[in-house]
Chain A
Amino acid sequence: MITLDGVAKTYGDVHALGPVDLEIPTGGVTALVGPNGAGKSTMLTIVGRLLGADAGRVTVGGLDVVTARPRELAKRLAILRQENHFVARLTVRQLVQLGRFPHSQGRITRDDEAAVDTALGFLDLVDLQHRFLDELSGGQRQRAYVAMVLAQDTEYVLLDEPLNNLDMQHAVSMMARLRRAADELGKTVVLVVHDINFASAYADQVVAMTEGRVRYVGTPREVMTDAVLSDVFATPVTVVEGPGYPLAVYYRA
């Protein structure tokens, strides 16, 4: 379980987050949704201990993310930020191998290689594995970053807009795979998604935020209503029944 207890963050005089109290259950896929600037990334990076909160406490699987031993935490919790610009000239495989660092400390074992192969296969990167990152398209690179995080093989996986730059096919297969990671490997996946319909189709729980606050928490069916979505996104939204899950339509009032 992930718990947030009175977590708040201010950048200079911009109030970005909180105070937020939230519990994210173990297992399953939780989607964070909300308009730009709602504080989704801020919250996720605080949970992923990449950013210090001004107040409050975060625990992941019982470990306080601020005080836990970094190496232990890195075996339980992995996070991918929204923006990643590396200058390093590494191949896809070398990057994904670095995901094994918490386990191997650089000395890659056969188990590590197996985990790397699995992650590469999972994200359809086997053919690209020996290419340099700076020679890939944005979407291919995004898949490589996600593969690195999956190779880390942690119980908790936090992803900030993993569908960034992905085409339709790869966005769908990424979500399907994250769903499988939750169902088959028992992982707890928390992700920020831009497209509310992906949350509806794949998530077990939706957390809707605006202006640094958590406004609604519930199953997709609970959150996907005209009233809630129009409120959260400050634009008229109509929810219609889709192929087994609700769809939000908002393209034209």
Chain B
Amino acid sequence: MTLATDAATVAPGTRPGRRPVVPLALAGLLTLALVVASLFVGVYDLRADGGGDMFLITRVPRTLALVLAGSAMAVSGLVLQQLTQNRFVEPTTSGTSEWAALGLLLSVILLPSAGIATRMVIASLAAFAGTMVFMAVLRRVQVRSTLVVPVVGIMLGAVVSSLTTLLAISTNYLQLLGTWFMGSFTGVVRGQYEVLWVVAAVCAATFVLADRLTVAGLGRDVATNLGLGYDRLVLLGTALVAVASGVTTVVVGFLPFLGLVVPNVVALLRGDDLRSNLPWVCLGGVALVTACDLVGRTVRMPFEVPVAMVLGLVGAAAFVALVLRVQRRG
């Protein structure tokens, strides 16, 4: 009896916990195809004079930026979800990105001649401070029902972006905000995107911390029982997310819902074992952001629709679907 039901629920080869190499390789190939498409899609005809230069100055940087930012934001969502034990949290629903934008604006106002690296540091610091505020508020909120948590984050984010807007109006920087809030890869060219390599380090660090993050996902008590320094891990995880969000905000702007959609779809299909999920989350982030960017580039050629707009549409739909699903499961 037991054996029969077991065989029915667990088909051979799909045993959770096994590392399925073939599906991962297929997903990798699909992502690679999208990335290659991104290199060759655009208004400029690469066969024309100077095509090679054009390729190196805009297409390659743009595509690398897609890969780096896409994987970093998806991984950031995953890390935040583990640390808050909540599926709906990601950098744009925790206020992290909004704080990064505030930091960026402050750096523009106070240090007008600073380079991109300085801005990135300031944005990351602001993102870190903001995320810690979010975590501290969460610790005090008694009702930690699934939906209260992102509502708290979105509220905090809204307050911060109002502040940023107010500051921008009074300093005549309002037009800059539009481009930050509407993440886009249009302006990513050689000399502009290189700082994004920092987020590759964030992804690598997440791989190193994978098991600890899985444990943290079971909450403070289980983590403490297993000898994990929970508070230190929260600090470290928050710092990683802050750097990823800070850098991404400086270079491309907000990428809403990326960190929400990708980890959730992966978890739905594969469960919550972080170590085996991480490659999937990275690939998923790259694939989704690249696909959305391709859509944004081609749908109204020769004009471009910012990737954030496409992501927003896809993400909002996914968010609603997720809420409905969680409600159904109770």
Decide yes or no: A75 and B227 within 8 Å by CB, A91-B17, A132-B271 being known contacts: yes
Quick check: is A3 within 8 A (CB to CB) of the other chain?
no
* A130 with B227: CB separation less than 8 A: no
Quick check: is A115 within 8 A (CB to CB) of the other chain?
no
Q: Closest residue to B6 on the A side, CB-wise?
A: A127
Quick check: is B166 within 8 A (CB to CB) of the other chain?
no
* B85 with A87: CB separation less than 8 A: yes
Contact residues on B (Cβ < 8 Å of other chain), bracket: 20 to 34
Residues of chain B within 8 A of A88, CB atoms compared: 85, 214, 217-218, 272
* A90 with B227: CB separation less than 8 A: no
Q: Which of B125-184 contact A (CB under 8 A)?
A: 146
Quick check: is A73 within 8 A (CB to CB) of the other chain?
yes
* A130 with B10: CB separation less than 8 A: yes
Q: Which of B1-49 contact A (CB under 8 A)?
A: 2-3, 6, 9-10, 15-17
The listed residue (B214, B226, B267, B275) touching A99 by CB distance below 8 A is B226
Instruction: State A52–B100 Cα separation when bound (angstroms).
Output: 35
Contact residues on A (Cβ < 8 Å of other chain), bracket: 35 or more
Quick check: is A236 within 8 A (CB to CB) of the other chain?
no
Instruction: State A87–B263 Cα separation when bound (angstroms).
Output: 14
Residues of chain B within 8 A of A89, CB atoms compared: 267, 271-272
* B3 with A127: CB separation less than 8 A: yes
Q: Is the interface of A mostly helix, strand, loop or mixed?
A: mixed
Quick check: is A210 within 8 A (CB to CB) of the other chain?
no
Quick check: is B187 within 8 A (CB to CB) of the other chain?
no
Quick check: is B212 within 8 A (CB to CB) of the other chain?
yes
Residues of chain A within 8 A of B217, CB atoms compared: 86-88
Residues of chain A within 8 A of B219, CB atoms compared: 86
Decide yes or no: A70 and B224 within 8 Å by CB, A88-B217, A106-B211 being known contacts: yes
Quick check: is A31 within 8 A (CB to CB) of the other chain?
no
The 5 closest A-B pairs by CB, nearest first: A106-B211, A74-B227, A71-B227, A101-B226, A102-B227
Q: 22 A–B contact pairs at CB < 8 A? A: A70-B227, A73-B227, A74-B225, A86-B222, A87-B146, A88-B214, A91-B271, A94-B16, A94-B271, A98-B218, A99-B226, A101-B211, A101-B215, A101-B227, A106-B211, A127-B3, A127-B6, A128-B6, A130-B10, A131-B9, A134-B329, A152-B225
A residues with a Cβ closer than 8 A to B are 48-50, 70-75, 78-81, 84, 86-91, 93-94, 98-99, 101-102, 105-107, 127-128, 130-132, 134, 149, 152
